[in-house]
Amino acid sequence: MNFWDKAVRFVYGFCWHPTVFGDTDSRDGDAGSVGPHGVSAAAVGVSALAQDTDCLGPHGVSAATVGVSALAQDLFNFEITSQVPEGLSNHVVSKTKAQASCYKKLLVAWKASNPPPKTPEEASRLVLQTLKNHLKADVEGLLKFYGLPLAPIPVVTTVEVPVELPQGEEFELQTLPVPSSTLHNFFVEARCVTDGDGITVYVSTSDPRESRLVPQEVLVTALKRSEARAQGEKTRAKELHKTMIAAGYQVINVKNEEVLARKYRIRLRGIDAPEGDMPYGKEAKEELAKIVKGKCLRVLVYGEDQYGRSLGDIYCNGNFVQELMLKKGMAWHYKAYDQRAELAKCEKNARAKRVGLWALTNPEEPWEWRRKNK
């Protein structure tokens, strides 16, 4: 595999759906295999299943979906280079200009799909629908090129009961899980906790919602960084990474695999912890770090505050983090902005038990402290 293939494959690992795209090293097939890199679902499936009956590569690309992965890779490559895959002309009758027209239409359709195709049947259906006015020989040749079915199985629709979201919730984040044994790789760690009610988290751009929001310039920078690293240009790679960080994204190593993640600053909704210079300010920060450090978090986001932070309810191992902080006496219920009875009850019980900051004779509210110490 040449460097460009590796660079594009690197971006796919985190920019497209995690159940579709991944390691494609096993695509070095025989001369009779299908696809731009020797892709044949059957040929790859034999060797891949001999090693792993479930998946091919670290991103969950199964032997059955390797053709879908190849098509997605070639579409992304086309978006950047405007070049159709090498070898396509052996399977279609049209010239290169017409082939480019097909890929341009497929790229638009793929990016507009939500979610993108995961199975060969879904990918085949998208190709047939998008290229329905093109030559039949070209369409069938392209499908054979990727080992996709010529006649996909009809879609069977079912009516699902919609899941009711909490009132006011705008969207949900699932932060990256990180093993606690690698401190420098924590996505939620002590240095990410700014105080007792503020935290910075990172969300993988392979998440369906995030994958649609990654700016094109960030993807291109990620490719350039990958190229610089491959060529040993460490200084240039660091500068490119700084550019990505300035845009709110960061490449982080997870289990020896690089993942592009988006940074979110979260303000815990409904509580107000002591500021750093206040009594129990340090203790509140340490308690929050203790709760979330090394954990995978579920964050329900309810808009932003005046500082651009996302206002969120955070859940850790099924526990509501704001309630934990209140029960331990590490924060006030922020009644001015949140009237939830369960939070008021948690504060009341902590006061009665005189735990945490309630052991102080007359603790000062943080909002009053901020007013005096602007």
**Mean pLDDT per 10-residue segment, the chain (374 residues):** 44 42 37 42 34 37 69 90 90 90 90 82 86 86 88 42 50 57 38 84 85 88 90 92 92 80 91 90 90 86 87 89 93 90 93 92 90 86
Question: What is the reported pLDDT for 283?
Answer: 93
Residues 6+ apart with CB under 8 A from 293: 180, 186, 188, 189, 190, 193
267 assigned to active site: yes
Question: What is the reported pLDDT for 359?
Answer: 92
Burial (CB < 10 A; 0-12, 13-18, 19+), residue 89, is middle
Please name which of 318, 321, 342 lies closest in space to residue 330, comparing C-alpha atoms: 321
Question: What is the reported pLDDT for 352?
Answer: 93
What is the distance between the alpha carbons of residues 305 and 233, in angstroms, rounded to a whole number? 40
Start-to-end Cα distance in the chain: 58
Residues 6+ apart with CB under 8 A from 133: none
Count of beta carbons in the 10 Å neighbourhood of residue 239:
14
Question: What is the reported pLDDT for 317?
Answer: 86
Please report which helix (H) or strand (E) contains residue 312, including its range.
strand 310-316
- Per-residue pLDDT tens digits for 241-297: 999 999 999 888 777 778 888 999 999 999 999 998 889 999 999 999 888 888 888
> Per the residue annotation, which of 269, 287, 309, 347 is the catalytic one?
309
Alpha helix segments (H runs only) across the chain: 3-15, 41-51, 66-81, 96-112, 120-130, 136-145, 208-211, 216-230, 234-246, 281-292, 321-327, 341-353, 366-372
212 assigned to active site: no
Question: What is the secondary structure of 259-292 as a DSSP string?
Answer: EEEEEEEEEETTEEPPPTTSTTHHHHHHHHHHHH
Please report which helix (H) or strand (E) contains residue 313, including its range.
strand 310-316
Question: What is the reported pLDDT for 63?
Answer: 54
Question: What is the reported pLDDT for 324?
Answer: 93
Helix or strand or coil: residue 132?
coil
- Whether 197 and 268 have beta carbons less than 8 Å apart is answered as yes
> Per the residue annotation, which of 275, 287, 323, 347 is the catalytic one?
275
225 assigned to active site: no
> Per the residue annotation, which of 229, 267, 287, 323 is the catalytic one?
267
Please, which residues bridge with residue 251 across strands? 260
Question: What is the reported pLDDT for 323?
Answer: 93
- For the record, the structure tokens of 164 come out as 């009711």
Residues 6+ apart with CB under 8 A from 94: 102, 134, 135, 138
Question: How do 198-204 and 257-268 pair as beta strands?
Answer: antiparallel
